[in-house]
Amino acid sequence: MEFDAEALLLTFIAETEENLRAIEEGLLSLERKPDDVETLQLVFRMAHTLKGNSASLGFTGVAEFAHALEDQLEKLRKRAQPVTAGLVTALLASVDAVREMLPVAVEGNHEIGAKHQEVLKRLEAGSAALETPAAPEVARAAAAAAPAEIAVKPGESGRTLRVAIDKLDRLMTLAGEIAISRGRQRQLLEDGAAGAALEAHQDAAQLYAELQDLVMQVRMVPVGPTLRQYVRTVRDLAAAQGKLARVAIQGDDVEVDTTIIEHLRDPLTHMIRNAMHHGIEAPEVRQAKGKDPCGSIALSAWREAGSIVIELADDGAGFNRDRIVEEARRRGLAESPEKLPDAELYRLVFEPGFSTAERVTEWSGRGMGMDVVRDRIAALRGSIAIESWPDAGTSIKIRLPLTLAIIEGFGVGIGGETYVIPVDRVVECMELPARGARRERQGILQLRGEALPFVRLRDLFGVRGSEPERESVVVVRHDLSRVGIVVDRLHGQSQAVIKPLGDLFVGVRGLCGSTILGDGRVAFILDVPGLLENHLSQNAAATAA
C-alpha cells in the first residue's frame, strides 16, 4: 500500500487544531467550575493525544510541550494543586505556544524558540511558577488573532472537513444512480424514443437535485466552534483592560456553509473588541450605575427565512449618540446628523476611519475595524443592523445566506448581456413609466405614494447601443430603504451556481461572482450593496468636483 505522507500530515493538522480548541474550551470551563472532573478528564485526554500524535510524526518540540502540559493537568487530576485564574492563564499561554509552533514544525523546524522556551520552563517548574501572570503580549496575541492557518505546501491551504459516513454512502449511491440514468437516456435517444427519453431526463433531474442538496449539506458545519473561541478572546481582553465579562452562547448547533464560517471570524473579532472597549464598562462604573460588576456578552445564532442570523449583544453603555453626531458633523457625513433616526445614524460608524474614542489605545481609536466588518459582510451577500440603548447595551445582528455555492437568482437583460440579482434582494418588479425622449441616468419614481429613487444599470455599466422602447424596474432592498434598478428586460427567477471571478475583476465593485446560463453564456451576479454604494460615492465625488 502506498504511503501518503501529505494526507497524513493534513489529518494531523486538522486533528491537532481540534484538540487545541477542545483544550482551550475545557480550561476556560474549568476556570468557572474548578470541580468539574469530567471536563478535566477530557482536557487531559486531548493533551495526551496531542503528545502521542506529535511524537509519532517526529515533531519533538510540539511533543515536549504537550508532555509538560499533560504533567500539569495530571497534578490537577490528583488534586496536587488547585485550579486558579493564574494557572489557567499560564496553561492557555502554553496552548498558544503549541499553536504557534505547529506551522514551524510542519515546515521541518522542530526546535523550540527562545520565546516558547520561557513558557515551557514555567510549565515544567511547577505550580508556583505557573501562578505568575502571563506576559501581556500573550494575552494581546490571543485576543486579536484567529487560529493560525497552516499550509503543507506553498499555495495550498490544507483545508479539511469531516463528513458523516452515511452522507458519503448516500453520495456514492446517488453517483451510481445518476450513471445508470445517463446510460438509459443515451440508449433511448439512440432508439429514437423521444417521449421515454424526456421521462428519463426528468428522473435524472430529480437525482441531480438530490445530489446537489446533499453536497450542500456536506459543506454545512455548526457555528458553535467558531462562537466558542470568543470566550477566550473576551477573557483576555477583559484581563488586559481591567474589566470583568462573561460570554453566553446560544444556537451553537445551527449549521452554515463552511465558507461562511471562514469569512466570519474577522468581523466577529472586530465586533467583540469594540464591545469590550466601547460597550462593557469598568466594574466600578457598572456598580455606580446599579449594574452587575461583571458585564455580559451574548453570541446567538438562528435560522430565519433561508438565512442565518448571528447576533452579538452586550449589556454595556450603548452607543454614545452625541459623540457619533459630533464625529459625523466634523467629517461631513451628514448635513444634520442629529436629525437622523438611530438606525441611520448608527450606520455611520461603518464609514472608514470613523471613531468616537477619546484617545488612541492598542484596542481602538484609530478608526479601523467596523468598516472592515461592513465590507466583509457585504462580500458574503449579507447585511448588518445595529440597535442600541443608553446604559442598557447594544445589539448587532448579521444576516447571511446559508451557502455561497448556489443562490436563487433573478435574471435581467441589458443590451445583449444577462445579469443576475440575488432573489433575497428583490422586492418586486414594475414597468418604468414613459418619460418622453429624454432618459435620465437616475431619478425618483412614485411607488404607491412613496418616493422610489432609481438608477439605470445600463448607465452604471456604460453599456452602449440602442435602448428599448419600454424599460422595467427591479425594486431591491438597500440598507433600510428601497431602490429601483432600471433594466431592459426581465428574464425571471432561476437557480444560479456561483463561480468565482478571475483576477481581472479584482477591485471591481458591483459584481460578486458569475454563473453559467442554460445556453452556455456567462452572466455576472450583481452585488447590489456594492453597486449602489459605488454609484453614490461616484455621485458624491462628481458633486464635490
Does 7 have pLDDT greater than 50? yes
Q: CA 139, CA 133: separation in Å to the nearest integer? A: 10
Query: pLDDT tens digits, residue range 273-319?
Result: 889 988 999 999 999 999 999 999 999 999 876 678 899 999 999 98
Pair 238, 275: CB distance under 8 Å: no
Residue 475 to residues 283, 429, 452, 461, 524, Cα–Cα distance (Å):
49, 6, 9, 18, 19
- The predicted structure's pLDDT at residue 290: 92
Between vectors from CA 321 to CA 398 and to CA 394, what angle results, nearest 5°?
35
Poorest-confidence range of 41-45, 271-275, 278-282, 477-481? Answer: 477-481
User: End-to-end alpha-carbon separation of the chain, Å?
Assistant: 71
Poorest-confidence range of 180-189, 240-249, 481-490? Answer: 180-189
Looking only at the bridges linking them, the beta strands covering 406-414 and 489-497 are: antiparallel
Confidence of residue 138 (pLDDT cuts 50, 70, 90): very low
What distance lies between CA 199 and its chain's CA centroid? 42
What distance lies between CA 150 and its chain's CA centroid? 19
Q: CA 23, CA 67: separation in Å to the nearest integer? A: 14
- The predicted structure's pLDDT at residue 537: 63
Which residue blocks in 360-433 are alpha helix, DSSP H? 370-379
Average pLDDT over residues 195-199: 78
CA atoms within 13 A on the CB side of 430: 16
- The predicted structure's pLDDT at residue 296: 93
Pair 370, 270: CB distance under 8 Å: yes
Find where cell 443562490 sits: 407
- Per the model's pLDDT, the better-predicted residue between 171 and 44 turns out to be 44
Does 477 have pLDDT greater than 90? no
Most confident of 93-97, 108-112, 127-131: 93-97
Pair 465, 417: CB distance under 8 Å: no
Q: Tell me whether residue 397 is exposed, middle or buried, using C-beta atoms within 10 angstroms of its C-beta: 0 to 12, 13 to 18, 19 or more.
A: middle
Pair 81, 87: CB distance under 8 Å: yes
- The predicted structure's pLDDT at residue 13: 81
- The predicted structure's pLDDT at residue 545: 53
- Per the model's pLDDT, the better-predicted residue between 187 and 96 turns out to be 96
Confidence of residue 5 (pLDDT cuts 50, 70, 90): low
Residue 147 to residues 23, 26, 87, Cα–Cα distance (Å):
13, 17, 22
Which residue blocks in 383-493 are alpha helix, DSSP H? 457-460
Does 130 have pLDDT greater than 80? no
Query: pLDDT tens digits, residue range 202-239?
Result: 787 788 778 877 777 777 888 888 898 889 889 988 98
Q: What is the DSSP string of 468-498?
A: PSS-EEEEEEETTEEEEEEESEEEEEEEEE-
Q: Tell me whether residue 253 is exposed, middle or buried, using C-beta atoms within 10 angstroms of its C-beta: 0 to 12, 13 to 18, 19 or more.
A: exposed
Does 147 have pLDDT greater than 80? no
Q: CA 26, CA 91: separation in Å to the nearest integer? A: 11
Poorest-confidence range of 45-54, 131-140, 362-371, 440-449? Answer: 131-140
Does 341 have pLDDT greater than 50? yes
Poorest-confidence range of 102-111, 393-402, 431-440? Answer: 431-440
Does 533 have pLDDT greater than 80? no
Backbone angles phi, psi at 299, to 5 degrees: -110, 120
- The predicted structure's pLDDT at residue 360: 46
Does 117 have pLDDT greater than 70? yes
Q: CA 368, CA 364: separation in Å to the nearest integer? A: 8
Helix (H) or strand (E) holding 292: none
Which residue blocks in 347-385 are alpha helix, DSSP H? 370-379
Residue 345: Cβ within 10 Å count: 21
Average pLDDT over residues 119-125: 75
- The predicted structure's pLDDT at residue 514: 86
Under DSSP, is residue 408 helix (H, G, I), strand (E, B) or coil?
Answer: strand
Q: Which residues of 157-174 are buried (b: 16+ CB within 10 A; e: fewer)?
A: ebeeeeeeeeeeebbeeb
- The predicted structure's pLDDT at residue 541: 52
The overall pTM is greater than 0.85: no
Nearest to 405 by CA among 299, 545, 260: 260
Residue 56: Cβ within 10 Å count: 11
Confidence of residue 507 (pLDDT cuts 50, 70, 90): low
- The predicted structure's pLDDT at residue 135: 39
Query: pLDDT tens digits, residue range 378-416?
Result: 777 788 888 999 989 999 999 888 777 777 889 999 988
- Per the model's pLDDT, the better-predicted residue between 505 and 1 turns out to be 505
- Per the model's pLDDT, the better-predicted residue between 414 and 530 turns out to be 414
Q: CA 399, CA 268: separation in Å to the nearest integer? A: 13
Query: pLDDT tens digits, residue range 154-193?
Result: 333 346 677 777 777 777 777 777 777 777 777 777 777 7
